[in-house]
C-alpha cells in the first residue's frame, strides 16, 4: 500500500485514558516523535474511554458503543480517515468495535440506539481506519526515511520486543494481519523489531513476544500477575536482553509494577529495563531522555542509558 | 488390583479395606483398592442454556472438546486445575455440582485470548469463562470476585464521566475489595516515581485525582448507557430464573 505515506501523514490521535495517567511517558514520547518526523497528530476533541476490558466484562455492546463514539467523532466532526492509537487496549477495542459493527446485527442495533439517544451520528463500518503507533511510523514515515533520521542510534542495545496480547489476539478483529508481504504476523509480530533494528538495537530472540502479563488482573489477582510478569522478565534476561521494549501501557505498567512486586514478595530480582519503544526510537533520533519522558518511567533507566552512551 | 495413578482419583473416592470378604473373595489391602461407585443424578439440564444466555457464553454449543483452549491457556500453565476444556464439558453435560468444585478459580481467566486464537470451532472460550464467572456470582455460588469489583468500579467511572482516572480506580478498588491502601510494592513504586521529581507529573496526577477528567456533553450518553445496561442485566437475571429487579 504505497498510499499510506499520504494517508498517515495526518491522523486523528486517540491517546486514551492510560496515556493521561500512568502511561504519560508513552504520550510524551509519541508526540515528540511526531514533531521530529513532521507527522501531524490531531487530538480527538471531547473523546471518551474506549471501554477497555472492564466495560466489556460488564456489557460487551457498551464497550462497542464507547469505541464507536470515538470513531464517529474522528469521521464526522474531524473529517479524518485514520485514527492512530498507541495504547494496545484502545487499538484493540476500536478494531473489535469495527469488526462487530461490520459483522453483527446486534452490535449495529445497540450503536444506533445509543448514538441516537446521545444525539450524535452513529458510526458505520469502514468510515475510519484504526492503526497502531507501529503502523503509523513504519508506513506513515517509512523505514528508509527513518534510517536517515537516526542520530547516534541505540548502539547495539540488546532489546526484547514485547507486544502483549491485545495487539494480535483474537485474530479475526485484525483482518489485515497474516496476509503475507509487509503485513504483520499475529504469531510472531515484527513491526517493533523492524523499527528498533533501524534505530540500531540488536533484537534478541525472544520467545514471549505475545505472552500475557496478566494485565487484566494486575490489581485484582496480583499474585498471578507477578508470576506471569516474572516469567516474561526472566525469559528476556535469559535471551540476553538489557531492555524490554513495550508498546502497551497495561503491559508496561504491569512489568514495572510486578518487577518490584516479584522482588518484594518472591525475592526474585530482575534487572532488565522496561522502556516504551517510542522512547527508544526518540532517543535513537537524538532526542534527550527528558524529551521522551524517560525520567517519568518507574523502571529507572536514566543512568543505564547514560552508561550505554545512548543519551 | 492396585491403583498406581492415585492422583487422578479424588482421595475421598479411593477405598481400601483392612478386612473385607465379598462373595467369598478376600479383597482386603492395597492390592484390592476400590474406586467408590458413583452415579450422577444431579444434572442441571438448563446449565448450558443459562451460560449461553450471558454475554460471552453464546457459542459454547460449538465445542467439540479438542482441548486447544486448555493447551493454549496462560493460567493453566500456572495452575493445572484451571481447565477451560473441562469446564465447558461439565457445563454442556449439566454437571453443576462438579463445576462448583472449581468455583473459586474460574474468575482468574486473564482474557489473553490465546484460547480464542487457538479454538478451531470459534467457541470464544474467553467469553465462556467470563459468562461462567458471572453465572457463579449471579446464582450466589461465589461472592463477587476482585475482577468483578474492579470491572464495576471502572465501568461506573466510565459511564458517569466518559473517562477514567487510574489513581482513583486504584484507591476505590483497594477500598471496595477490602485491601489495605498501603502496600509495600505500591510504596516502592511511588518512591521510584518521585525520585526524578517530575513535579508536573505528580501535580497532574493529584489534580486528576481531585478533579476527575470528564467528557463534555455526556449526560445524554450516560443516561442511554445506564438504561441499556439496566435492561441487559434484567434480561440476564430473567434468563437465569432470578428476580429481574435486584
* CATH code for position A257: 3.40.50.11810
Residues A40, A169 within the same domain: no
Q: CB–CB of B151 and A256 under 8 A? A: no
Residue A139 has what pLDDT?
97
Q: CB–CB of B189 and A52 under 8 A? A: no
Asked whether residue A139 is assigned to any structural domain, the reply reads no
pTM of the model: 0.93
Mean pLDDT confidence for A115-141: 98
Q: CB–CB of A117 and B164 under 8 A? A: no
Asked whether residue A187 is assigned to any structural domain, the reply reads yes
Measured between CA atoms, the residue of chain B closest to residue A120 is B221
Residues A154, A128 within the same domain: no
> In this structure, are residues B74 and A212 in contact, taking their beta carbons and an 8 Å threshold?
yes
Identify the CA nearest to B162 among candidates B105, B207, B221.
B221
CA distance A138 to A161: 15
Residue B181 has what pLDDT?
76
Residue written as grid cell 462438579? B98
> In this structure, are residues A53 and A249 in contact, taking their beta carbons and an 8 Å threshold?
no
**Nearest chain A CA: its distance from B201 CA (Å):** 8
CA distance A56 to A33: 32
Contact residues on chain B for A61, CB-CB shorter than 8 A: 55, 228, 232
B55, B150, B216 ranked by CB distance to A46: nearest: B216
pLDDT, one tens digit per residue, over A22-76 is 899 999 999 999 999 999 999 999 999 999 999 999 999 999 999 999 999 999 9
Q: CB–CB of A228 and B78 under 8 A? A: yes
Q: What is the largest CA-CA distance in chain B?
A: 87
- Give the residue numbers spanning the domain of A251: 150-307
Kindly compute the dihedral angle of the four CA atoms of residues A95, A97, A98, A103, in this order, to the nearest 10 degrees: 130
Domain boundary among A103, A132, A161: A132
Q: What residue ranges do the domains of chain B occupy?
A: 6-35, 47-138, 146-220
Q: CB–CB of A220 and B150 under 8 A? A: yes
Asked whether residue A94 is assigned to any structural domain, the reply reads yes
Residues A165, A16 within the same domain: no
Residues A237, A118 within the same domain: no
Chain A, chain B: beta-carbon pairs less than 8 Å apart: 172
Identify the CA nearest to A234 among candidates A223, A247, A225, A244.
A244
> In this structure, are residues B91 and B48 in contact, taking their beta carbons and an 8 Å threshold?
yes
Asked whether residue A191 is assigned to any structural domain, the reply reads yes
How far is C-alpha A176 from the chain's CA centre?
Answer: 17
Beta carbons within 10 angstroms of residue B163's beta carbon: 20
Q: CB–CB of A165 and B113 under 8 A? A: yes
Buried b vs exposed e over B211-246: b needs ≥16 C-beta within 10 Å? eebebeebeebbebbeebbeebbeebbebbeeeeee
CATH of the domain at A26: 1.20.1050.140
Q: CB–CB of B162 and A49 under 8 A? A: yes
Percent of chain A beyond pLDDT 90? 96
Residues A162, A298 within the same domain: yes
Asked whether residue A105 is assigned to any structural domain, the reply reads yes
Measured between CA atoms, the residue of chain A closest to residue B198 is A296
CA distance A290 to A270: 25
Measured between CA atoms, the residue of chain A closest to residue B164 is A17
Measured between CA atoms, the residue of chain B closest to residue A300 is B192
Contact residues on chain A for B130, CB-CB shorter than 8 A: 57
Kindly compute the dihedral angle of the four CA atoms of residues A183, A185, A188, A194, in this order, to the nearest 10 degrees: 20
Residues A120, A160 within the same domain: no
Residue A21 has what pLDDT?
85
pLDDT tens-place values along chain B, 246 residues long = 566 677 778 888 888 999 999 999 999 998 888 888 888 888 999 999 999 999 999 999 999 999 999 999 999 999 999 999 999 999 999 999 999 999 999 999 999 999 999 999 999 999 999 999 999 999 999 999 999 999 999 999 999 999 988 888 888 898 888 888 777 888 887 777 776 655 655 665 565 566 677 899 999 999 999 999 999 999 999 999 998 776
Asked whether residue A67 is assigned to any structural domain, the reply reads yes
Residues A158, A301 within the same domain: yes
B115: phi then psi, degrees, rounded to nearest 5: -65, -45
Mean pLDDT confidence for A74-95: 98
Q: CB–CB of B228 and A48 under 8 A? A: no
Identify the CA nearest to A89 among candidates A68, A108, A67.
A67
Residues A90, A221 within the same domain: no
Write out the H or E segment, with its range, that includes residue A130: strand A129-132
**Nearest chain A CA: its distance from B33 CA (Å):** 38
Residues A120, A254 within the same domain: no
DSSP 8-state secondary structure symbol assigned to residue A159? E
Asked whether residue A119 is assigned to any structural domain, the reply reads yes
Residues A128, A154 within the same domain: no
> How large is the angle between the packed helices B146-161 and B125-138, nearest 10 degrees?
100
> In this structure, are residues B60 and B132 in contact, taking their beta carbons and an 8 Å threshold?
no
Kindly compute the dihedral angle of the four CA atoms of residues B4, B8, B12, B17, in this order, to the nearest 10 degrees: -20
A22, A225, A264 ranked by CB distance to B166: nearest: A22
Q: Is B123 left (phi over 0), alpha (psi -120 to 50) or beta?
A: alpha
Residues A172, A285 within the same domain: yes
CA distance B104 to A236: 32
Contact residues on chain B for A46, CB-CB shorter than 8 A: 215-217
Q: CB–CB of B74 and A48 under 8 A? A: no
A46, A59, A221 ranked by CB distance to B108: nearest: A221
The interface predicted TM-score of the complex, written ipTM, equals 0.94
Residues A175, A274 within the same domain: yes
Q: CB–CB of A66 and B75 under 8 A? A: no
Amino acid at each position: 500500500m504505497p498510499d499510506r505515506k499520504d494517508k498517515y501523514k495526518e491522523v486523528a490521535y486517540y491517546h486514551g485514558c492510560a496515556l493521561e495517567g500512568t502511561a504519560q511517558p508513552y504520550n510524551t514520547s509519541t508526540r515528540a516523535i511526531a514533531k521530529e518526523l513532521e507527522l501531524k497528530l490531531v487530538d480527538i476533541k471531547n473523546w471518551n474511554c474506549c471501554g477497555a476490558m472492564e466495560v466489556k466484562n460488564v456489557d460487551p455492546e457498551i464497550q462497542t458503543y464507547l469505541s464507536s463514539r470515538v470513531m464517529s467523532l474522528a469521521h464526522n466532526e474531524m473529517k479524518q480517515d485514520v485514527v492512530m492509537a498507541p495504547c494496545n487496549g484502545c487499538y484493540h477495542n476500536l478494531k473489535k468495535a469495527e469488526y462487530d459493527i461490520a459483522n453483527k446485527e446486534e452490535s449495529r442495533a445497540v450503536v444506533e440506539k445509543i448514538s441516537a439517544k446521545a444525539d450524535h451520528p452513529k458510526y458505520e463500518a469502514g468510515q475510519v481506519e484504526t492503526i497502531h503507533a507501529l503502523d503509523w511510523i513504519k508506513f506513515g514515515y517509512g523505514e528508509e526515511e527513518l534510517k536517515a533520521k537516526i542520530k547516534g542510534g541505540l548502539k547495539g542495545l540488546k532489546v526484547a520486543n514485547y507486544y502483549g496480547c491485545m495487539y494480535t489476539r483474537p485474530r479475526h478483529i485484525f483482518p489485515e494481519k497474516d496476509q503475507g508481504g509487509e503485513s504483520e504476523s499475529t504469531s510472531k509480530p515484527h513491526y517493533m523489531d523492524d523499527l528498533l533494528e533501524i534505530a540500531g538495537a540488536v533484537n534478541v530472540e525472544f520467545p514471549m513476544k505475545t505472552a500475557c502479563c496478566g494485565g487484566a488482573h494486575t490489581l485484582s489477582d496480583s499474585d498471578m500477575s507477578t508470576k506471569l510478569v516474572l516469567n516474561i522478565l526472566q525469559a528476556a534476561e535469559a535471551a540476553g536482553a538489557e531492555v524490554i521494549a513495550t508498546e502497551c501501557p497495561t503491559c508496561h505498567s504491569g512489568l514495572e509494577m510486578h518487577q518490584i512486586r516479584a522482588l518484594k514478595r518472591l525475592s526474585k530480582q530482575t534487572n532488565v529495563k522496561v522502556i516504551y519503544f517510542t522512547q527508544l526510537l526518540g532517543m535513537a533520533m537524538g532526542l534527550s531522555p527528558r524529551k521522551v519522558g524517560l525520567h517519568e518511567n518507574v523502571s529507572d533507566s536514566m543512568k543505564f542509558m547514560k552508561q550505554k552512551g545512548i543519551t | 488390583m492396585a491403583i498406581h495413578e492415585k492422583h487422578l482419583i479424588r482421595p475421598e473416592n479411593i477405598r481400601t479395606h483392612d478386612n473385607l470378604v465379598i462373595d467369598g473373595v478376600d479383597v482386603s489391602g492395597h492390592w484390592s483398592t476400590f474406586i467408590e461407585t458413583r452415579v450422577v443424578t444431579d444434572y442441571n439440564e438448563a446449565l448450558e442454556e443459562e451460560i449461553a444466555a450471558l454475554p460471552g457464553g453464546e457459542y459454547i454449543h460449538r465445542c467439540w472438546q479438542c482441548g486447544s483452549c486448555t493447551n493454549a491457556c496462560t493460567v493453566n500453565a500456572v495452575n493445572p486445575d484451571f481447565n477451560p476444556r473441562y469446564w465447558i464439558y461439565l457445563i454442556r453435560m449439566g454437571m453443576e455440582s462438579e463445576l462448583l468444585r472449581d468455583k473459586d478459580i474460574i474468575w482468574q481467566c486473564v482474557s489473553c485470548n490465546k484460547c480464542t486464537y487457538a479454538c478451531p470451532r470459534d467457541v470464544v472460550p474467553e467469553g465462556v469463562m467470563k459468562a461462567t464467572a458471572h453465572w457463579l456470582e449471579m446464582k450466589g455460588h461465589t461472592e463477587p470476585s476482585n475482577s468483578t469489583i474492579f470491572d464495576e468500579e471502572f465501568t461506573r467511572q466510565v459511564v458517569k464521566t466518559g473517562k477514567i482516572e487510574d489513581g482513583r480506580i486504584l484507591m476505590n478498588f483497594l477500598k471496595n475489595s477490602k485491601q489495605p491502601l498501603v502496600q509495600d510494592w505500591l510504596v516502592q513504586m511511588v518512591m521510584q516515581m518521585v525520585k526524578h521529581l517530575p513535579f508536573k507529573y505528580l501535580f497532574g496526577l493529584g489534580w486528576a485525582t481531585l478533579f476527575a477528567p470528564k467528557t463534555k456533553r455526556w449526560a445524554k450518553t450516560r443516561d442511554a448507557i445506564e438504561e441499556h445496561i439496566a435492561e441487559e442485566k434484567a434480561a440476564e437475571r430473567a434468563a437465569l430464573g432470578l428476580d429481574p429487579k435486584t
